[in-house]
Amino acid sequence: MMLASARFRSRGRFPVLTYLHPNGTSALCRSSQPLAGFSSRCMEDQMLFETIRLANSNSSLLYVVDTRPPLNALTNRAQGKGYEDVTVYRNIAIQFFDIENIHVVRSSLDKLLKVAQEPAISLEAFTSGLEKSGWLRHLRVILEAAFFVATRLNEGNSVLVHCSDGWDRTAQVCSLAQIILDPYCRTFAGFEALIKKEWLSFGHKFSDRCSLTSSSDPREASPIFTQFLDCVRHLCTFCPVEFEFSCDLLCLLHDAAYAAMYGTFVGCSEKERRDLRVTETTFSIWSLIAHRRNELSNPFYKFRIHSPLSDCDSLPYGDATAEMFVPNGIELSSTGETPNGNRDPVDMLPTFVLSPQLFHLWRGLFLRWEWRLPKSDRHCVETLSDCTLGIQSLVSHQRLLEVRIAQLCRLLGKSVHTLIDPVQAIHQQQSCDSTNQLWLRNSPTNTHVHQQTTGDPAHTSCVTLAACLPKPSVNQLAVELTSIATSWTTIARRDIPCSNCGILLALCDRTVHCHRCGTAVCSRCVTRKPRCLPGLWSVHPIAFCLCERCSSDPVFLKARHFTQLHRSVKSNPVPHPLHANGDSV
């Protein structure tokens, strides 16, 4: 049946499952157009459609979403291709969407870039050129189709999506529908899995669409992937608490697809990438993203608890279980309850994002090199991300200082509580501050650190921890006190220079603080190599920002974390006191 259906479908792409709704019945499938013409039929293809429909006991209809304009589909039918006829395929409902083909999209981007990159353009010419390009109109139609698919799955129906060949518009709509429905697809791990499945494994022609080789046909080039990323950017902009990553990740993926510095987006299919031995001869962009995760994170992300979709491997602590980090969802099944009585871990994005008034130019991509234009929204996100990491380092630094104070009190024969209790009282008062609440709410990493630094029932007292550690030397104390900056240079004014290279921060793509000296530096003068800083309580290597001067300081390079010190010349390194076996926690 599947072989016959493949022969009846363009490029042999017969209907396959790409996503199963958590209710266990609603299926999202994708394929290419049928080679039906005006009279051709395939009994096996009809049986496959009926099998997909019958697999869902909650619905009597199978929705077929043809992403092409009806006129284009009818033209293809005259060429021996076409679409599913409702008189032949029983129990289906077909819906067309006016998503244009690769040639129209390519022309649209050319017109958009011509308008966006003109420095001396008038307001009338800009608005008129933006309208004539049709770029924003294309984005809305794609999102409209994705919301239609998500809504049908929401109602308990199965949906099949196809365009002409099934690797451009189909990938866009299926990917966005899953992002709209599934909170897991809005995380780093989920978005990576989504692109690997819908774009790489299903064979989007990256080499042809991005013109990566000199032999690429210019007529095959089209910014389909850029269009998809722009749609995700639109969702990120108006649903900021729903996405774990920021728009910087989307810009990075766009650059990786066109620059081909990484082998992730090289080739037009999995077979071609295997033949080219891409995994053996090139690096993956996902490794870079994992390394720069702190930089690419969204500080507004509302981290949810209790969702079975989270990937335990992506969590920062090995003792954390997946059940601890599952988003609270809303029920999308028709009955209101799942068989086990729990709510479905699905959280559908609101439909107000389809409002025409909300669509605007992606300045972060198309105007990012225009330094004369202010980037107030980006500056807000960067500042909050920088502040979040700073609070994380200060909380960990405070915990280490509390233990060191307890050690000194033991040596002097004084009570620890006379010094520690006032500090903890101040910390508990400051934890009610809005920035701290935002930081504590959003990240499992920070929540774990916070539990180690406050009066949690499972929290080990400073006195107990101080007894577990050897006496620190004066040099070790000096290194720990100077390894974390407690005062930062303000970056409210962008007319100050970078403390390393001297370039104006207003001209830089990103501005961050060095966590050791506290000065503001540009993104080119900072290193983010994960390491265990000696002034932190946490033993986990964390990619804090360090300027080039601090990262190359010989004194800092020789410094060791307290777990790397020795009790004596012949003894083993000091285990972390919160771990019984001495391993990392």
Predicted confidence band of residue 157 (pLDDT cuts 50, 70, 90) = very high
pLDDT above 60 (res 249): yes
Q: pLDDT digits over 506-527, tens only?
A: 777 778 888 888 888 888 888 8
CA distance linking residue 96 with residue 76, whole number of Å: 14
Higher pLDDT, 96 or 503: 96
Torsion of CA 80, 81, 87, 93, to 10 degrees: -170
Phi/psi at 226 (5° precision): -60, -40
In the chain, the percentage of residues whose pLDDT exceeds 90 is 46
Catalytic pick from 29, 42, 163, 545? Answer: 163
Mean pLDDT of 531-548: 79
Residue 553's CB is within 10 A of a number of other CB atoms, namely 15
Query: Locate tokens 């669409």: which residue?
Result: 209
Q: Pairing mode, if any, of strands 158-162 and 27-31?
A: parallel
Predicted confidence band of residue 371 (pLDDT cuts 50, 70, 90) = low
199 among annotated binding-site residues: no
Query: Locate tokens 């042809």: which residue?
Result: 208
pLDDT above 60 (res 72): yes
- pLDDT confidence of residue 215: 85
* The two three-digit tokens of residue 507, written as one number: 């001209």
pLDDT above 80 (res 579): no
pLDDT above 60 (res 455): no
pLDDT above 90 (res 476): no
Q: pLDDT digits over 308-325, tens only?
A: 333 433 333 333 333 333
494 among annotated binding-site residues: no
- pLDDT confidence of residue 556: 79
**Range from 165-174, 222-231, 418-427 carrying the lowest mean pLDDT:** 418-427
CA distance linking residue 84 with residue 488, whole number of Å: 64
Higher pLDDT, 89 or 584: 89
Mean pLDDT of 365-394: 78
pLDDT above 70 (res 106): yes
Residue 417's CB is within 10 A of a number of other CB atoms, namely 14
Mean pLDDT of 221-239: 96
336 among annotated binding-site residues: no
Mean pLDDT of 218-237: 96
Higher pLDDT, 581 or 528: 528
**Range from 104-108, 151-155, 405-409, 579-583 carrying the lowest mean pLDDT:** 579-583
- pLDDT confidence of residue 338: 39
Rg (the chain; Cα; Å) = 28
Predicted confidence band of residue 442 (pLDDT cuts 50, 70, 90) = very low
164 among annotated binding-site residues: yes
Residue 421's CB is within 10 A of a number of other CB atoms, namely 11
- pLDDT confidence of residue 404: 85
Query: Locate tokens 């007319």: which residue?
Result: 495
- pLDDT confidence of residue 584: 38
- pLDDT confidence of residue 407: 83
8 A C-beta contact, residue 147 and residue 351:
yes
* The two three-digit tokens of residue 377, written as one number: 């929204």
Higher pLDDT, 303 or 101: 101
CA distance linking residue 202 with residue 167, whole number of Å: 7
pLDDT above 50 (res 444): no
Please report the domains of the chain, with CATH numbers, ordered by start residue.
2-362 (no CATH), 380-564 (3.30.40.10)
Q: pTM of the prediction?
A: 0.78
Query: Locate tokens 């409210």: which residue?
Result: 492
- pLDDT confidence of residue 20: 94
Amino acid in position 89:
Y
Phi/psi at 64 (5° precision): -110, 120
8 A C-beta contact, residue 390 and residue 404:
no
182 among annotated binding-site residues: no
Q: pLDDT digits over 9-64, tens only?
A: 999 999 999 999 988 899 999 999 999 888 888 999 999 999 999 999 888 899 99
Element (H, E) at 125: helix 123-133
pLDDT above 80 (res 337): no
Predicted confidence band of residue 242 (pLDDT cuts 50, 70, 90) = very high
319 among annotated binding-site residues: no
Higher pLDDT, 529 or 450: 529
Query: Locate tokens 């009585």: which residue?
Result: 341
167 among annotated binding-site residues: yes
In a 13 Å sphere around the CA of 3, the CA atoms on its Cβ side amount to 0
Q: Is 163 a catalytic residue?
A: yes
8 A C-beta contact, residue 167 and residue 203:
yes
Mean pLDDT of 370-382: 70
* The two three-digit tokens of residue 407, written as one number: 């050690």
Higher pLDDT, 262 or 376: 262
Residue 233's CB is within 10 A of a number of other CB atoms, namely 20
Mean pLDDT of 143-161: 96
Torsion of CA 307, 311, 313, 318, to 10 degrees: 0
* The two three-digit tokens of residue 361, written as one number: 């130019």
Predicted confidence band of residue 291 (pLDDT cuts 50, 70, 90) = confident
Mean pLDDT of 441-468: 51
pLDDT above 60 (res 499): yes
CA distance linking residue 15 with residue 31, whole number of Å: 5
185 among annotated binding-site residues: no
- pLDDT confidence of residue 292: 86
Mean pLDDT of 450-466: 51
CA distance linking residue 197 with residue 20, whole number of Å: 14
- pLDDT confidence of residue 137: 97
The closest of 310, 22, 319 to 150, measured between CA atoms, is 22
- pLDDT confidence of residue 18: 96
For 463-495, give the DSSP string. Answer: HHHHHHSPPPPHHHHHHHHHSS-SS----S-S-
- pLDDT confidence of residue 461: 65
328 among annotated binding-site residues: no
Higher pLDDT, 384 or 180: 180
Torsion of CA 368, 369, 374, 380, to 10 degrees: 40
Q: What is the mean pLDDT of the chain?
A: 81
In a 13 Å sphere around the CA of 203, the CA atoms on its Cβ side amount to 14
